C-alpha cells in the first residue's frame, strides 16, 4: 500500500500547477461525457439496425475527421495559441452534441452529426499535444501518465454510465451530458497558461517539416508504428463490444460493463510504467509489452473462450492503450517545437486511420465469421509490428556514454536533434 500511495502522490504532484490542473479538469470532464455518448450512440444504432457493422460505424465516423482534412485542421495548433484552438473546438463539439440530444433523427443523420462533431477533435488534439510538453516541462512523462490513466478511468466510467443511462431511459441523457461536458471543459481551458508553437505571425509552411521530423528518426517511426498497429486490436475490442455482449447473451447494462474492462486494464497498467528512462529503453518496453499482450488476447479470442477468460482477452487488449504514454513521450521530446502540433496531427491522423480501418474491418469480419474470431484476426498485425519494431531498434554494439546521455537528456522545448540512425 505504501508503494501505491507513493506512486499516486508522484502522479498527482503536477496538479499543483494551476494550468496543468485546469487542463486536467477539462480533459477529465469531457472524456467522461464523450465515452458515455459513444456507447449510447452504439447501443442506439445497434438497436435501430440490428447490425454489428452499423454499430461499428459509430466508431468509424468519429475518427474519419482525422483523415485528410484533420491534418489541415491540425496546423491551426501551430498558427494560433493552443488555448484558443482548444476552447473553440470544445464549443463546437458541445453545440453539436446538444443538437443530437435534442432531436430524433434517423441513423444516417445521427452518424452525420457525429462526424461533424468529430471535426473538432483534430485541432483540439494537436493543440493539446503541442501545449502539454511546454506546460509540463521536465515532468512530461509523469504528466502523460497521469492524463492517460485518468482518461482510461473516464473511458471506463463513461462506458458504464452510458450503458446504465440507455438501459434506464434513452441515449438522449448521455448525449446531453456530453454536450454540457464540452462547455464546462471550455470554461476550465480559458484559465490555463497561454502557449504557442511559434512566434506570433509565423506563417512558414508547416506540413513538410513535420513530415520530415516524423520520418527521419527511427525511434519515432517504431514508436508510432507499434502503437498504430496495436490500435487495430484495441479498436476491434471497442467497436465489437456491443456485438460481443450479444454473443455472450448480455444486455445493454452488460455491454456497458464489458466495455469498462479494457480501460480498467489500462488504468492498472499505468501504475507499472516507468517515470523516467532512455528513449530506446522506453520504445523497447512498448514493443515487448505489445507482443505479449497481443499474443494473449489473440489466443483467448481465437478459441472463443467462455466469459471468465473473455475478460482476460479484454484486459490484455486494454493494456495496449497505455503504451501511448511512453511512446508519446519519446515522440514529443524528439520533435521540434515549431511543428510539433502539425506533426502530432499527422500521427493522430494515422492512428485514427487505423481506428477507422480496424472498426470497419472488425464489423465486416463479424458479418462473415464469429465475433471472437474477428477480434482474434486483428491481433495478428499488432503482434507482427511489435516483433518488427524490436528488430529495428536492436542496438549495434554497445553505445558510448555520450550517446546514452544524448538520448536520455533531449530538451523538451526548442528544436530537437533527430539522429536518423539512433
Domains observed in the chain: 18-193+204-394+401-408 (1.20.1250.20)
Are the C-beta atoms of residues 332 and 140 closer than 8 Å to each other? Answer: yes
Most confident region among 45-59, 133-147, 408-422 by mean pLDDT? 133-147
pLDDT in tens, 84-108: 999 999 999 999 888 888 887 887 8
387 has pLDDT over 50 = yes
Backbone angles phi, psi at 396, to 5 degrees: -95, 100
More confident residue, 200 or 271: 271
27 has pLDDT over 80 = yes
Closest residue by Cα to residue 246 from 381, 403, 370, 156 = 370
The region of weakest confidence among 65-69, 149-153, 400-404 is 400-404
410 has pLDDT over 70 = no
417 has pLDDT over 60 = no
* Measured CA angle at 108 (ends 107, 112), to 5 deg: 115
Q: What is the mean pLDDT of residues 290-294?
A: 90
Are the C-beta atoms of residues 415 and 338 closer than 8 Å to each other? Answer: yes
415 has pLDDT over 70 = no
3 state SS of 67: coil
Backbone angles phi, psi at 354, to 5 degrees: -65, -40
Q: What is the pLDDT of residue 86?
A: 92
The region of weakest confidence among 147-151, 221-225, 262-266 is 262-266
Closest residue by Cα to residue 305 from 379, 375, 368 = 375
Q: What is the pLDDT of residue 87?
A: 94
186 has pLDDT over 90 = yes
In the numeric block, which cell numbers belong to residue 187? 470554461
Q: Give residue for cell 461525457.
A: 33
418 has pLDDT over 60 = no
Are the C-beta atoms of residues 239 and 362 closer than 8 Å to each other? Answer: yes
pLDDT range class, residue 200, cuts 50, 70, 90: low
Distances (CA, A) of 230 to 43, 151, 296, 321, 381: 25, 18, 13, 8, 8
Average pLDDT of the residues of the chain: 78
Percent with pLDDT over 70 in the chain: 83
pLDDT range class, residue 195, cuts 50, 70, 90: confident
Percent with pLDDT over 90 in the chain: 11
Across 286-321, b (16+ Cβ under 10 Å) vs e yields bbebbbebbebbbbbbbeeeeeeebbbbbbbbbbbb
H or E element at residue 231: helix 218-239
Amino acid at each position: 500500500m505504501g508503494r501505491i500511495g507513493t506512486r499516486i502522490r508522484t502522479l498527482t504532484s503536477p496538479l499543483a500547477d494551476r494550468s496543468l490542473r485546469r487542463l486536467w479538469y477539462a480533459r477529465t470532464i469531457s472524456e467522461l461525457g464523450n465515452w458515455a455518448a459513444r456507447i449510447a450512440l452504439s447501443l442506439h444504432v445497434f438497436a435501430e439496425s440490428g447490425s454489428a457493422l452499423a454499430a461499428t460505424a459509430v466508431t468509424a465516423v468519429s475518427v474519419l475527421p482525422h483523415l485528410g482534412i484533420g491534418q489541415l485542421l491540425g496546423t491551426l495548433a501551430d498558427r494560433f495559441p493552443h488555448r484558443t484552438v482548444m476552447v473553440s473546438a470544445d464549443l463546437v463539439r458541445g453545440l453539436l452534441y446538444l443538437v443530437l440530444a435534442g432531436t430524433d433523427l434517423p441513423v444516417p443523420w445521427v452518424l452525420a452529426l457525429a462526424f461533424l462533431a468529430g471535426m473538432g477533435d483534430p485541432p483540439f488534439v494537436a493543440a493539446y499535444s503541442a501545449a502539454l510538453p511546454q506546460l509540463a516541462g521536465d515532468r512530461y512523462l509523469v504528466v502523460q501518465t497521469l492524463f492517460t490513466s485518468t482518461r482510461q478511468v473516464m473511458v471506463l466510467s463513461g462506458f458504464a454510465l452510458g450503458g446504465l443511462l440507455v438501459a434506464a431511459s434513452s441515449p438522449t441523457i448521455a448525449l446531453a451530458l456530453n454536450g454540457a461536458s464540452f462547455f464546462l471543459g471550455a470554461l476550465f481551458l480559458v484559465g490555463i497558461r497561454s502557449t504557442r508553437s511559434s512566434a506570433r505571425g509565423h506563417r512558414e509552411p508547416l506540413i513538410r517539416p513535420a513530415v520530415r521530423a516524423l520520418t527521419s528518426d527511427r525511434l519515432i517511426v517504431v514508436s508510432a508504428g507499434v502503437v498504430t498497429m496495436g490500435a487495430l486490436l484495441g479498436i476491434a475490442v471497442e467497436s465489437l463490444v456491443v456485438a460481443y455482449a450479444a454473443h455472450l447473451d448480455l444486455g445493454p447494462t452488460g455491454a456497458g460493463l464489458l466495455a469498462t474492462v479494457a480501460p480498467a486494464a489500462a488504468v492498472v497498467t499505468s501504475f507499472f510504467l516507468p517515470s523516467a528512462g532512455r528513449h530506446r529503453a522506453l520504445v523497447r518496453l512498448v514493443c515487448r509489452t505489445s507482443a505479449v499482450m497481443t499474443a494473449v488476447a489473440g489466443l483467448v479470442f481465437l478459441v472463443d473462450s467462455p466469459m471468465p477468460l473473455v475478460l482476460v482477452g479484454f484486459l490484455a487488449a486494454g493494456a495496449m492503450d497505455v503504451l501511448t504514454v511512453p511512446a508519446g513521450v519519446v515522440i514529443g521530446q524528439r520533435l521540434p517545437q515549431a511543428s510539433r502540433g502539425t506533426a502530432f496531427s499527422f500521427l493522430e491522423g494515422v492512428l485514427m486511420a487505423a481506428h477507422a480501418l480496424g472498426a470497419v474491418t472488425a464489423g465486416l469480419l463479424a458479418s462473415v465469421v464469429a465475433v471472437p474470431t474477428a477480434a482474434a484476426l486483428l491481433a495478428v498485425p499488432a503482434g507482427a509490428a511489435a516483433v518488427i519494431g524490436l528488430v529495428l531498434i536492436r542496438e549495434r554494439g554497445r553505445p558510448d556514454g555520450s550517446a546514452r546521455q544524448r538520448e536520455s537528456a533531449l530538451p523538451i522545448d526548442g528544436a530537437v536533434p533527430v539522429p536518423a540512425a539512433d
